[in-house]
Structure 1
Amino acid sequence: MAHPSRPADEAPAGRAVPAGRGAEAAPVEYRFGPFLLSPGRRALLQAGEPVRLGSRAMDILVALVEQAGEIVGKDALMRRVWPQAVVEEGALRVHMTALRKALGEGQSGARFITNVPMRGYCLVVPVVRLAARPETQGPALQDGAREPSPLPAPLTRVIGRGEAIAAVCAALAERRLVTLVGPGGMGKTTVALAAADRLRAQQADGVRFVDLGALGDGSLIPSALATALGVPLRTEDPLRDLLAWLADRRLLVVLDNCEHLVADAARFVETLLAGARQVQVLATSREPLRARGEWVQRLGSLPAPPPDEALNYAQSLAYPAFELFVERAAASLDGISFGDADAAAITSVCRRLDGMPLAIELVAAQVGFFGLAGLLEKLDDHLSLPTLGLRTALPRHQTLRATLEWSHQLLSAPEQRVLRRLSVFRDRFSLQAAERVAQSDEESVARAVMGLVHKSLVVADASDDGVHYRLLETTRSYARERLQADDDHADIGRRHCLYCLAAVATAAVELDTLLPRRWRDRHGRLVDDMRAALAWAFGAHGDAHLGARLVAESPALWFGLWLVKEYQGRLALALQRLPLQDSGGTLEMQLSLEFAQATVALRGGAPEAVQALERSLEIARALASPGDELRALWVRYGTRLLRGEYASALEDTDAYGLAAQRAADPQLAYIHHRMRAVCLHFLGLQEPAQQHAEQALHPSAEAVRYTRGNGYQFEHRPASLTHLARILWLRGRPDEAMRLAQEAVEAAKAVDHALSLAYALAFAACPVALWCGNAVAASAYVQELDECSREHGLVFWQSWPRVYRAAMQVQAGAPLPFDPEQAGLQAGQLDVLATLHVDLVGPTVLRRAADDLVRWCAPEVRRAQALRGLAAGELSRGQAAGMLSAAIALAASQGALAWELRSRTTALELKLCTDAARARAELAELLGRMQGGTGTADVRRARALVGQPAAR
């Protein structure tokens, strides 16, 4: 913060005056906080009165003041205080304690001296060095110091208000009336005093400060200013005497706390400025004076560290709210210190208090009693948090509650009523939303909201989406407490719930029309209101049916913000609290389906997801609701795929096709093509699978977008590309498969959809890269999948990077890091793992292959069995050769050239062919049918066997 302008004879204290040389140089004095120190006279004064201080304590103070802002070592202090004696360090502590007590530390909230462990002590308040004036020499010093100061002396350092102070000074350079407006506790007085101090040198007759807070009658304002100026009142009209005295004087008047006398203050200021042409006025108020010529300067919250950035302690200190908390906490408890481990908690406290300086100061003073964790818990009810403000402060500034009650009392009855009702909003709200929730027959909500904005109890924010309003957290907590005492508080809770219901419907519609980032910017804030509405709905006096509706109709919001785990928990609660009359109806069906979708996204095909799906499908068919039946079939199909139940998934696909025909929605046909492509691929029918996958990507399918809004979880295009990439790899087109896998990843990123991105990475990019032997690309894709799934809390998808990393370790010759059979993996994951290395074919896959349940990779499973059986001596060479021949035939029947290539290559490598020349010719012919892939590991091995040159 810039220092206030100083008279020519003032200079900052510091090393410029070496310790011990004050008596030899010109006499100097030092001003810090409310104190004046005269080392030459061995005198310390506070408000003109001498402070009793022992000789040793005085020596310590002089040493610290002369080196203000710097650490003075303990040894240096003891040499200064006891130059001819050797004393214990305890003696220094005794006199330091006496000094701190004399300065009033721990009583006024101010802090002057800090102890730096292992180093020494430091005076931490600004110090101004003055040349001693003749009138302050000797006994006259006390008399001169008794003259009232034109401005109250600051007791603490001003933090984070440099720009605001500069803005006020700039405004007063061009205008005669500036009003600093902001909520109670925002620091208006602090900023006004700092600005006035900075401007003092520019005013020929100085500055004067008048606190109107103690006045109960606006007619006393002229008398209060006259008293501050020392104007003799010679008539019965103090205003006339005041104007006569000010007629030719040039000064700045600071009128503090005008809000409760705002009309009288406005009239007085207009009269004052008209009659005293060289006077300027700086006023502070919670609402503008609305006087002629007024310039309103609004004072906002102190910036706090952003919640979504993991900043360390040093980085967080760059934010004023954080810095203020740390300094005030240190002032309240000697020796307290913070570090990186505390940064997140302090940030949370500052944000919960809206960056309001008074609130931060009051709460920080309690950190020694509650600790940071305890403070966070107490902040859930921070109006009742015991706080210790300055004893000398006005009563309304000693606690948060008193500050807010003072503001509440200044409101009209309609404004009080609307403020209480607006407290149900947890974030910003539009004027239309306010009218919907707070309206009643006898009042205009719009007029009341405007009044609350003017009085700084409601904040107005303008953006591209228009003007929105919000309450600061402290104001909201107070107003909500008052609302609970109103007879209609339950009705207000219901209105807020209905507002949220309409808001999530709008969010769902716009999910299909707005870009994801734009959608989140517009609707992301709604989630806090949803939480509040659901807390009311499922509370003791709420409406469980309305709460269940709100949960059931809001999947777009929770999935759009990737709060899937929270949504799953709220769905479970809604099903548990569902009223009896809703059992077996549309509401239970919706909740069951959404619960299944959330569970699948988190845990794959978990049993509870299957159970919920069966219930949802049962109700949908009983109600003859084809749209809901389609959604339920879709989710059950996806769940069965994850569980490796490919034939059952095809049954759901066929049922889906029939329901889609009844629904007569052309878009559903492309989704049906995609479903069939996936099922046929896993059932080992690669050629028809490819045909359906290509149909799903028909140009007309471009209309099938943002399908997560209607329950299909994944974006259509990236999901379709994902499986076409897998199919093409099996069909002997590895280069094209790699290209399409990357295209699927890019398509998911283009729509900014995390679940689709995880899907494309897990099912296409990672396995295709590993099948091609491209370890570099595979490693990058696996890392991206890990980051995506963790960032968005996709618990099930976090297991896929573990699967692929395990496979890469085995491929590199390392042992398997865990037992896949005991790792809680889905059957579909075990199937993929079996294709990445022969040692990764586990008992579950072998059993499923024997039961004809793993057709898509069955040729590779048989190849692995042949290799492992031969190596272990469990199979003869003839048996191994027969198993490889069966794998080749099966792969050929499936149109899976990739598996056929591997089995033929293995048979030649191990010399298990009865006719090597013929086998080599068949392998060469197969290589001729491959499209691309000359750089892949499988093709290079095969070419080496048939004598073809390797690709460059």
Structure 2
Amino acid sequence: MAEDQLRGNLLFGPFELSSRERVLRRDGVALPLGSRALDILIYLAARPGEVIAKQELIDHVWPDVTVEEGSIRVHVAAIRKALGDGQFGNRYIANIKGRGYSFVGTMVSLGGVAESGNAGSPHQGRLPVRPITMIGREMVVREVCDKLRHDRFVTLLGPGGIGKTTIALAVGRAAAEAFGSEIYFVDLESLTDPNHVAAAVATSLGLALKSKDPGQELLDLIRSRKLLVILDSCEHVIEAVASLAEQLYQQTEEIHVLTTSRELLKVEGEHCCRVLPLDFPLDGSEQTANAVLRYPAVQLFVRRAATRAGSVALSNKEAPFVAEICRKLDGIPSAIELAAGQAAALGLKNTADLLVSRLELLKLSHRTAVARHRTLKATLDWSYDLLSDAERIVFRRLAPFVGHFTLDGARSVAGEPGVGAEEIFDAVAGLVEKSLIATRIDAAQAQYRLPNTTRAYALAKLEEHAEVDMVLGRHAEYLAGHLETLREALSALPGSERAAVYSDQINNVRAALEWSFGPHGDAETAGRLAAASTKVFLELSLLIECQAWAERAMASLGRPHRGSRRAMEISASIPLALMHTEADDQRVRTAFANALEIAIEQADIAYELRILSGLFMFSHWIMDIRGATDIAVRSKELALRTGDHDDMALAEAMLAASEHLLGNHLAAQLHCESGLRHLASGPRTRMEPYLFHYTSFLLVGMARSLLYRGLLDQSLDYARRAREEGKRSGSPATFCRSLALVLPVFLTMADLRQSDQYIGELSELSVAHSLMPYRAIATGLKGQWLLLQDNRIEAIQLLKRALEELHVQRHEMLNMDFTCDLAAALVDLGEHDEAVTLTVNAIAQQQRAGKFPHMPALFGMKGLILASRSAEDHFDAEESLLSAIDWAKRQSAALFELTAATDLAQLLLKQDRLPEAYEYLSASLDRMPAGISFPARNRAVQMLGQLQSGTDDVG
């Protein structure tokens, strides 16, 4: 009996099916369902994923009665009505045409035995049992499995139909052994109330929540377990999912979370894996059956067509049609499956013919809008027929523009030799009047755009006239020249305005690069365009994209051009992108060395300085003191040769940062002041180089130098200016750096509101632009922020995670700040041995590398730990605190001297050595510059008052 096969109660969606009680419940409420309908449902649910023939169902439900097939349909309809089958995307009972019925819902047994269509696969019980077709995703599955193992929290990100769910299920099966079958798939697609997210997860785990705080109850129930939770289709309840996922990540140690979403959850711990389209045959590649079947998009098409048509034998004659379909569908799995369904009914050639027009492709991609697209096509046909010959030519030749274009762009791409610009302009005006082109009037000049559907129609006309490569070639040549002109024209604009202009061009740049490096592209245009576009990608912090195009361009350059100016421009962008995305510092250094070699060969001092500034920043990040100092000195020598104020400001910024690394804060401040004077000496001659935006860097340097010297009011002023300058730069990397370096000023002031706001900005920006080091810094800063509120447990978790990530990325700019705070938090929890080991190791590491700015804080922290550990350590504690004071005096670091002197006074007070305590603390306060109050100063003043009272009593 099927009922015997169904052990325990079965959960699927909001439903619970009990074979023993013979009842179907929704959210605990029994549903009215007839006896025969229950028999059918229980029988189907006992064999999930299997197709049960109608006659077999009849024989089971009516063993002694002869009934018509219509009886089955009536009862299945009743089941579907009770389940809401088909509503809001829910699907539980599938009708397999000509074969029977199948239970296809996602389910788990409350009895502890997961239901599966494959009895030999015990680890897949809590995953959906419906068959999965996964093609071309093996590498992605391995990548996600690796990320889950190391990072615990991964989001599969991509548009609808890209295949996120399929990949997630494959990951679940691949990871089954590692989790000992503790894998739970939660389909959130049918969920309408975000308050039920935690309950949906609990249901999949076979748990029933009773608390008014279901999220916390769920955490309490599963906190100690090791399992993988897959949350599918999160976008419509994303806030609730984000909150729960973050809790699962932060408050547990062995729970791994995999989510699929059309947008990032944007919470702590999330690692993004973007799902890309399937590979498909490029236009012009080999079109034989064997050749195209190597591509995953074609494989998916053929398999899906076969499931509908019975079989598909792809011949060499038909292969080009399949390749064309997959190419026009851009490798999107859902669109390919839809096209395969049409091919099963209409044949490959007819389906390919339907996609000759990209307008038909749009119709195929958006199923609910077919009628509207047909009407639009008819309207466009009518409009096109009414155009003059000149207007038709211009209309179809404007098709390569993705987004806005100007009249100059239209003339360059759509014109013909001997045809005047006025004729092109008149044609554009005519197209505007006939509503085929949209306009946007800016302050400088009018801009035009073909709406997407209109552009699809124009592209089809371009193909009909065999002008595709000719016009796309013109488009690429125009973009190369346009970007070269923009570089000079935008040099005087603020970074945010430059970024806005480049954002307008990015889609055009991508399209032109795709054609230029494609099978029909032109090598000369490709190299020129690649060199001109590096500025666009860097300004917009599209670092991975920049690196990919630049490396592709360098690989395509012939040997005679390897040392050319074009090669210099392209190669210079590679290390600037790599240093944000590559953990292998040797690879980054090699890329810098290659770029420098070409710049020196070209005798281009401006580019040499640009590359040196990037190499300096990298050396600064990894705390390579000697390397950074050598680069700063070399840059100053080059700047003196040019005599340019911008070059001098750049060199002074490097020297300031170098002095900071050496702990010479007064010298660092003087270099910053010199650099700012150079910037104010005259008009700017060039754009600030990407990455080393020296205006913001000089302001940051002033903020930090003044902070260490105890001038908090001035430091706050420069910190605010640095943040605004970083934001104004238009560069996410520059803005992130500014935020990361000035946030300690606000934390020192214990300004919780402002600090929290800026940490949030840093976290969101670093995630959005894949700036991994800054994401780790944001994590550590959040830990410091939590410490200010005495939330030590969570703070320790974040600080440790930040230090681990920064170590992996070799980004050690702020790691000592986090080390000191981590040690302080450990002391508060009584973990003195761990704290002192952490601090002693950090001191040794700093001394070996010659990294001195953190020495006062580290020795001060060591003294504080020893002073609080035991009375036997008081002598060593005093020595460490005296060392901290000595280091601080040598560095003009009055803030650190005051902190260490206060801790020393506290220690001496315990030993009844009040006069000595008073002497140290009063001397430190005397050396502290006058200014606004802040927690460290207030604590010192209060301690001094206590000591004064004590010494008076003794007197």
TM-score bracket for this pair, using the shorter chain length: 0.5 to 0.7
Q: Measure the CA separation in 1 of the matches of 2:732 and 2:685.
A: 12
Code of the aligned partner of 1:947: G
**Cross-structure match for 1:849:** 846
- The answer on 1:787 being equivalent to 2:764 is yes
Q: Are the aligned partners of 1:732 and 1:931 in contact in 2 as well (CA < 8 Å)?
A: yes
Name the CA distance, whole Å, in 2 between partners of 1:806 and 1:522.
37
Match of 2:720 among 721, 742, 750: 742
Matched, 1:824 2:814: no
Is 1:882 aligned to residue 842 of structure 2?
A: no
SS of structure 2 residue aligned to 1:584: coil
| SS of equivalent to 1:541 | coil
Q: 1:897 to 1:388 in 2, by over 3 A?
A: closer
Once the 2 structures are TM-superposed, how far is the Cα of residue 609 of structure 1 from its aligned partner?
A: 2.7
Shift of 1:436: 1.1
Distance 1:344 1:832, change over 3 A: closer
Per the alignment, residue 33 of structure 1 pairs with: none
User: Are residues 606 and 705 of structure 1, via their aligned partners in 2, closer, same or farther at CA, if it must alter by over 3 Å?
Assistant: farther
The C-alpha deviation readout for 1:907-934, integer Å capped at 9, x for no partner, is 2222398965234213202202212466
Q: Secondary structure at the match of 1:827?
A: coil
Relative distance call for 1:374 and 1:731 in structure 2 (3 A) is same
The alpha-carbon distance between structure 1 residues 682 and 396, as it changes in their structure 2 partners (threshold 3 A), is: closer
Partner of 1:761: 739
Match of 1:438 among 406, 411, 414: 414
Query: How far apart are the structure 2 equivalents of 1:440 and 1:377?
Result: 42
| Alignment of 1:771 onto 2:763 | no
Does the 8 A contact of 1:789 with 1:795 survive in 2? Answer: yes
Q: 2:895 aligns with which of 880, 894, 898?
A: 898
Deviation of 1:468 after TM superposition, in Å, equals 2.8
Aligned equivalents of 2:813, 2:757: Cα separation in 1:
22
Structure-2 residue corresponding to 1:721: 699
Q: 1:279 maps to which residue? A: none
Say if 1:388 and 1:399, in contact at 8 Å, map to a contact too: no
- Asked if the contact 1:732–1:898 (Cα under 8 Å) also holds between the matched residues in 2, the reply is yes
Q: Which residue of structure 2 lines up, in the alignment, with residue 189 of structure 1? A: none
- Bigger share in helix: 2
SS at match of 2:620: helix
The residue type equivalent to 1:374 in the other structure is: S
Equivalent runs, 1:542-581 vs 2, <5 Å? 542-581=521-560
Task: Select 2:611's aligned residue among 608, 618, 632.
Answer: 632
Q: Which residue of the partner structure matches residue 538 of structure 1? A: 517
Q: Which residue of 2 aligns with 1:470?
A: 449
- Measured after TM superposition, the shift of residue 653 of structure 1 is 0.6
SS of the residue aligned with 1:469? strand
Separation in 2, partners of 1:844, 1:562: 36
Aligned residue number for residue 490 of structure 1: 469
Amino acid at match of 2:522: D
Structure 1 distance, partners of 2:920, 2:452, is: 76
- Aligned-pair distance for 1:529? 0.9
SS at match of 1:566: helix
Distance 1:789 1:719 in 2: 18
> 1:631 corresponds to which letter in structure 2?
R
Separation in 2, partners of 1:547, 1:378: 35
**1:661 aligns with one of 617, 630, 640:** 640
2:920 aligned residue: 922
Whether the 8 Å CA contact 1:892–1:900 is kept in 2: the answer is: yes
Which of 658, 661, 664 is equivalent to 1:682?
661
Q: CA deviation at 1:544?
A: 3.6
933-942 vs 511-520, which moves further: 511-520
List alignment gaps of at least 5 residues for structure 2: 1-69, 87-187, 190-232, 238-259, 264-307, 309-328, 340-354, 824-834, 949-955
CA contact (8 A) 1:423 1:471 kept: yes
Residue pairs, 1:8-87, within 5 angstroms: none
8 Å CA contact 1:422–1:434 kept in 2: the answer is yes
Name 1:939's counterpart in structure 2.
937
Q: What displacement does 1:454 show?
A: 4.5
* Contiguous gaps of at least 5 residues in structure 1: 1-89, 98-114, 122-311, 314-336, 346-368
Pairing 1:151-550 to 2, within 5 Å after superposition: 340=236, 374-375=334-335, 382-385=358-361, 398=374, 404=380, 407-441=383-417, 443=419, 444-484=423-463, 486=465, 489-514=468-493, 519=498, 522-550=501-529
Q: TM-score, normalised by structure 2?
A: 0.56
On the 8 A contact 1:667/1:701 being kept in 2, the answer is no
Change (3 A) 1:509 1:637: same
Q: Separation in 2 of the partners of 1:386 and 1:673?
A: 56
User: Residue deviations 1:780-815, cap 9 Å, x none?
Assistant: 332232234345554432222101122344562324
Do 2:866 and 2:874's aligned partners in 1 also have CA atoms closer than 8 Å?
Answer: no
C-alpha distance in 1, partners of 2:732/2:862?
38
Q: Retained in 1: the 8 A contact 2:632–2:654? A: yes
1:803 pairs with 780, 801, 822, which one? 780
| Distance apart, 1:396 and its partner CA | 12
TM-score, length of structure 1 as denominator length = 0.56
Distance 1:375 1:339, change over 3 A: farther
Which letter does structure 1 place at the counterpart of 2:713? D
Residues 662 and 836 of structure 1, relative CA distance in 2, 3 Å threshold: same
Inter-CA distance 603–949: structure 2 relative to 1 (3 Å threshold): farther
Query: Would the aligned equivalents of 1:537 and 1:546 in 2 still touch at CA under 8 Å?
Result: yes
Please name the residue that 2:285 is paired with: none
Which amino acid in 2 is paired with 1:536? W
What is the Cα deviation at residue 532 of structure 1?
A: 0.7
CA contact (8 A) 2:843 2:855 kept: no
CA–CA distance in 2 between the matches of 1:606 and 1:399? 57
Residue-by-residue CA offset, 1:724-750 (whole Å, 9 max, x unaligned): 111112112223222321232234345
One-letter code aligned to 1:427: G
Counterpart AA for 2:542: L
Q: Distance in 2 between matches of 1:530 and 1:567?
A: 12
Contact 1:571-1:591 at 8 Å conserved across structures:
yes
Check conservation: 1:667, 1:704, Cα contact below 8 A.
no
Asked whether the 8 Å contact 2:710–2:928 carries over to 1, the reply is: yes
CA spacing shift, 1:504–1:488, aligned 2, 3 Å: same
> Residues 770, 725 of structure 1: CA spacing in aligned structure 2 closer, same or farther, 3 A cutoff?
same
- The amino acid that maps onto 2:748 is W
Change (3 A) 1:732 1:603: farther
Report the CA distance shift for 1:402/1:832 in structure 2 as closer, same or farther (over 3 A): same
- Is the CA contact (8 Å cut-off) linking 2:530 and 2:550 kept in structure 1? yes
CA distance in 2, matches of 1:894, 1:521: 43
Aligned counterparts of 2:372 and 2:738: Cα–Cα separation in 1: 59
Judging changes above 3 Å, is the alpha-carbon distance between structure 1 residues 459 and 668 closer, same or farther for their aligned structure 2 residues? same
Which one of 589, 604, 618 corresponds to residue 568 of structure 2?
Answer: 589
Q: Which amino acid in structure 1 is aligned with residue 406 of structure 2? A: S
Counterpart of 1:816, as a letter, is: Q
**Separation of aligned partners in 2, 1:613 and 1:426:** 34
Shift of residue 399, structure 1, vs aligned partner: 7.7
Between structure 1 and structure 2, the one with the greater Rg is 1
**Counterpart of 2:25?**
none
How far has the Cα of 1:652 moved from its partner? 0.3
**Would the alpha carbon gap of residues 492 and 830 (structure 1) be closer, same or farther in structure 2, given more than 3 Å must change?**
same
What SS does the corresponding residue of 1:449 show, helix, strand or coil? helix
Q: Distance in 1 between matches of 2:516 and 2:338?
A: 24
**One-letter amino acid of the counterpart of residue 936, structure 1:** F
Q: Which moved more, 1:790-799 or 1:668-677?
A: 790-799
Report the secondary structure of 1:836's partner residue: helix
Are the counterparts in 2 of residues 600 and 639 from structure 1 also a CA contact under 8 Å?
yes
- Partner Cα distance (1:686, 1:913) in 2: 34
Shifted more, 510-519 versus 915-924: the winner is 510-519
Q: Which amino acid aligns with 1:687?
A: L
Q: Out of 839-848 and 571-580, give the one that drifted further.
A: 839-848
Report the CA distance shift for 1:338/1:400 in structure 2 as closer, same or farther (over 3 A). Answer: farther
Report how far residue 484 of structure 1 moved.
4.2
